[in-house]
């Protein structure tokens, strides 16, 4: 449940479970020893890649042959720790090149100075060498590697550049620092350096990602600007989904979008999840509004955002969803029924007329 505990356990104590749709079973992966970085799943080879408990090694598990045993692929070159006293994290969520010889790392180090150092770059799995593509004074995270171009990465300028001001009436307003004429969230990087993606349609961006084919970078224009995407070849930007959102995920075929939207600003708040069909310009709610599992004065210790995404070749949507007993569940929704609901003239909502 989402209730805070009087004596909480180790915050990094994690368990990992696997859903096997072929066997119709859910099972725990034993001996899980990663420390919080989100693993990478190769669904074609049925391999699970992850950062080791020491935060300085990369491991793999064969989900078919022996899912409970990890095999070390490499240890990271310790020269990356020069001048550092502590590793905060080695990546937000692990991504890898198509040949699995590179991994993108957005790692954070603490040094003898009070400031942290934020690095974005690639790990050579064969040698353990880490090459930085960007080093920032600001908090960079949510990094990923382009699935088609292993020399292109993506990272986020996290919201610590906001200034939140609480008024006498209790209302919170967010002001940008003077140097931020545009919302500086989305950044691309490569061996030659990095550059900011300027959001042209809606001057706000969060929770960015590459499309599966590597041709687009897209982001949420929260709270009310929909989902925008930029063609990496032409630089053209366009809106691809009208729904208000906090997180979004584009299907592998680029035809559908799923988004979530939180209501109110606290951990454990209510959530909605919606599906958008780009071919028919119609959408449908998967969850109109899931109940809160906490209150503003007693917030959840979990990270209970829905984070919907397409899996298994776009066959299913998976997401977390709160229930009336204040628990979090993993929900699986067949995509076919959502496509049918947004295609069949008898059941589909009326098409939306929006500038896409």
Q: Confidence class of residue 165 from pLDDT cuts 50, 70 and 90?
A: low
Calpha distance 288→22 (Å, rounded): 30
* Nearest CA among 330, 255, 300, 258 for reference residue 5: 300
For residue 180, what pLDDT is reported?
56
Instruction: Tell me the percentage of the chain whose pLDDT exceeds 70.
Output: 84
Mean pLDDT (whole number) for 88-109? 94
Q: Is the pLDDT of residue 66 over 80?
A: yes
Calpha distance 210→214 (Å, rounded): 6
Q: Is the pLDDT of residue 220 over 90?
A: yes
pLDDT tens digits, one per residue of 117-135: 889 999 999 999 999 999 9
Region of poorest pLDDT, from 182-191, 234-243, 308-317, 344-353: 344-353
pLDDT tens digits, one per residue of 26-41: 888 998 888 778 999 9
The β-bridge partners of 308 are none
Region of poorest pLDDT, from 124-138, 148-162, 281-295: 148-162
Which H or E run contains 338?
Answer: helix 335-341
Q: Is the pLDDT of residue 56 over 50?
A: yes
Q: Is the pLDDT of residue 248 over 50?
A: yes
Q: Is the pLDDT of residue 167 over 70?
A: no
Region of poorest pLDDT, from 137-141, 282-286, 322-326, 352-356: 352-356
* Nearest CA among 115, 212, 192, 198 for reference residue 157: 198
Give, in order, the Cα–Cα distances in Å from 136 to each of 71, 118, 312.
32, 5, 36
Q: Confidence class of residue 164 from pLDDT cuts 50, 70 and 90?
A: low
Calpha distance 338→317 (Å, rounded): 10
Q: Is the pLDDT of residue 3 over 60?
A: no
Give, in order, the Cα–Cα distances in Å from 340 to each of 72, 345, 348.
44, 9, 8
For residue 356, what pLDDT is reported?
44
- Enumerate residues 6+ apart whose C-beta is below 8 A from 315: 334, 335, 336
């Amino acid at each position: 449940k989402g209730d805070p505990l009087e004596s909480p356990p180790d915050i990094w104590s994690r368990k990992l479970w696997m859903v096997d749709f072929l066997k119709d079973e859910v099972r725990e992966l034993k001996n899980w020893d990663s420390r919080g970085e989100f693993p990478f799943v190769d669904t074609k080879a049925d391999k699970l890649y992850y950062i080791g408990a020491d935060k300085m090694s990369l491991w793999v598990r064969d989900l078919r042959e022996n899912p409970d045993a990890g095999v070390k692929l490499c240890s990271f070159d310790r020269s990356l720790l020069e001048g550092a006293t502590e590793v905060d994290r080695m990546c937000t969520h692990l991504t890898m090149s198509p040949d699995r010889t590179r991994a993108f790392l957005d790692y954070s180090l603490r040094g003898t100075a009070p400031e942290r150092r934020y690095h974005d770059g690639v790990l050579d799995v064969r040698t353990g060498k880490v090459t930085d593509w960007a080093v920032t004074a600001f908090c960079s995270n949510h990094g990923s590697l382009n699935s088609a171009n292993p020399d292109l990465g993506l990272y986020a300028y996290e919201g610590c550049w906001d200034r939140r001001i609480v008024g006498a009436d209790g209302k919170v307003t967010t002001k940008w620092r003077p140097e931020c004429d545009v919302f500086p969230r989305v950044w691309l990087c490569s061996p030659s350096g990095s550059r900011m993606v300027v959001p042209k349609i809606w001057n706000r961006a969060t929770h960015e990602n590459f499309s599966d084919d590597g041709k687009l970078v897209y982001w949420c224009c929260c709270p009310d600007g929909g989902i925008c995407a930029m063609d990496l070849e032409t630089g053209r930007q366009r809106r691809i989904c009208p729904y208000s959102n906090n997180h979004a995920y584009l299907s592998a075929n680029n035809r559908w979008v799923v988004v979530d939207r939180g209501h109110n600003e606290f951990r454990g708040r209510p959530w909605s999840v919606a599906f958008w069909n780009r071919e028919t310009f119609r959408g449908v709610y998967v969850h109109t509004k899931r109940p809160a599992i906490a209150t503003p004065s007693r917030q959840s210790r979990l990270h209970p955002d829905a984070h919907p995404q397409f899996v298994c070749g776009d066959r299913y949507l998976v997401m977390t969803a709160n229930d009336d007993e204040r628990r979090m569940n993993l929900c699986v929704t067949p995509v076919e029924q959502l496509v049918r609901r947004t295609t069949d003239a008898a059941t589909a909502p009326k098409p939306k007329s929006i500038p896409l």
